[in-house]
Amino acid sequence: MEQNSLRAKGKIGAAFILILLCALPGICFSVEKAPIFDVITIDSPITPPVANYILQNIEASGKAGADGLIILLDTPGGLDLAMRDIVKGIMNAPLPVIVFVYPPGARAASAGLIIAVAAHVAAMAPGTNIGAAHPVAIGIGGKDMDKTMGEKVENDAVAYVQGLAKQRGRNEAWVEKAVRKSESITAENALRSKVVDYLAADVRNLLEQMDGRSVTLAPGKESLVLKTKGAVINEKKMSLRHGILIALSNPNIAYILMLVGLAGLYFEFTNPGALLPGIMGGICLLLSFFALQTLSVNYVGVLLIIFAILLFIAEIMVVSHGLLTIGGIISLILGSLMLFDTPDPALRVSLGVLIPAVATISLFFAAVTAMVVKAQLRKRYTGLEAMVGEEGEASTDVREEGRVFVKGEYWRAFSEQAIAQGAKVRVVAVEGMKLKVEESK
CATH number, domain containing residue 109: 3.90.226.10
Q: Is residue 142 very low, low, confident or very high in pLDDT (cuts 50, 70, 90)?
A: very low
* Contact predicate 110/127, CB 8 Å: no
Q: Is the peptide bond before 135 cis (omega within 30 degrees of 0)?
A: no
Is the separation of the CB atoms in 180 and 158 below 8 Å?
A: yes
Provide the domain count of the chain.
3
Residues 231 and 255 in one domain: no
**144 in a domain, yes or no?**
yes
**Beta bridge partners of residue 183, listed in sequence order:** none
Residue 76 shares a structural domain with residue 218: yes
Residue 30 included in any domain: no
Q: CB under 8 Å to 54, separation ≥6 — which residues?
A: 40, 42, 71, 86, 89
- The enclosing domain of 428 has a CATH number of 2.40.50.140
What confidence score (pLDDT) does residue 218 get?
Answer: 74
**Is this prediction's pTM over 0.85?**
no
The residues facing 46 across adjacent strands are: 78
Same structural domain for residues 168 and 47? yes
Residue 12 lies in a domain: no
Instruction: Identify whether residues 363 and 388 lie together within a single domain.
Output: no
Nearest-5° Cα angle at 79, 77 to 85: 105
- Look at residue 161 in the predicted model and tell me its pLDDT: 93
Q: What is the pLDDT of residue 276?
A: 85
State how far the Cα of 64 lies from the Cα of 347, in Å rounded to an integer: 34
Rounded-to-integer distance, Cα 360 and Cα 310, Å: 18
Which is more confident, 384 or 399?
A: 399
pLDDT digits (tens, 9 = 90+) for 46-105: 989 999 999 999 999 999 999 999 999 999 988 888 999 999 999 999 999 999 999 999
Do residues 186 and 233 share a domain? Answer: yes
Task: Give the pLDDT confidence score for residue 346 in this predicted structure.
Answer: 67
Measured between alpha carbons, how far is 391 from 413 in angstroms, rounded to an integer? 13
DSSP structural state of residue 1: -
Whether residue 417 sits in one domain with residue 299: no
Residue 345 CB contacts under 8 Å (≥ 6 apart), including other chains: 76
CA 415 – CA 279 distance, rounded (Å):
53
Please tell me whether residues 99 and 193 are part of one structural domain.
yes
Answer for the pair 319, 329: CB distance below 8 angstroms, yes or no: no
Phi-psi map region of 121: left, alpha, beta (phi>0 left; psi -120 to 50 alpha): beta
**pLDDT at position 390:** 83
Q: What is the mean pLDDT of residues 171-181?
A: 93
Give 17's pLDDT tier (boundaries 50, 70, 90).
low
What's the CA gap between 415 and 404, in Å, rounded? 11
Based on the domain organization, do 163 and 120 belong to the same domain?
yes
What does pLDDT average to over the chain? 83
AA identity, residue 99: V
The single-letter code of the amino acid at 425 is: V
* Same domain, residue pair 202 and 312: no
pLDDT above 70 (res 305): yes
Q: How far, in Å, CA of 412 to CA of 382, rounded?
A: 19
Residue 27: inside a domain: no
Q: Which of 157, 64, 167 is nearest to 113 (CA)?
A: 157
pLDDT at 279: 87
pLDDT tens digits along 392-441: 888 898 888 899 898 888 888 998 888 888 889 988 888 877 888 888 87
Please say whether the beta carbons of 34 and 231 come within 8 A. yes
Check if the beta carbon of residue 94 is closer than 8 Å to that of residue 68.
no
DSSP states of 296-332 as a string? -B-HHHHHHHHHHHHHHHHHHHS--TTHHHHHHHHHH
Bridge partners for 108 per DSSP: 75, 130
Pair (222, 101) in one structural domain: yes
pLDDT band per the 50, 70, 90 thresholds, residue 145 = low
Question: Considering the domain boundaries, does residue 181 fall inside one?
Answer: yes
Going from the C-alpha of 232 to that of each of 72, 137, 205, 217, 225, the distances in angstroms are 16, 44, 13, 21, 17
- How far, in Å, CA of 395 to CA of 413, rounded? 10
* Number of DSSP helices (H) and strands (E) in the chain, helices first: 14, 16
Domain boundary among 237, 264, 281: 237
- Which helix (DSSP H) or strand (DSSP E) does residue 89 occupy? helix 80-91
> What pLDDT is stored for residue 27 in this prediction?
43
Report the SS3 class of residue 134: coil
Q: Are 47 and 111 part of one and the same domain?
A: yes
Beta sheet of 129-131, edge-to-edge order: 107-109, 129-131, 184-186
Percentage of the chain modeled with pLDDT above 70: 84
Same domain, 76 and 204: yes
Task: Pick from 15-24, 200-209, 283-292, 361-370 the range whose average pLDDT is largest.
Answer: 200-209
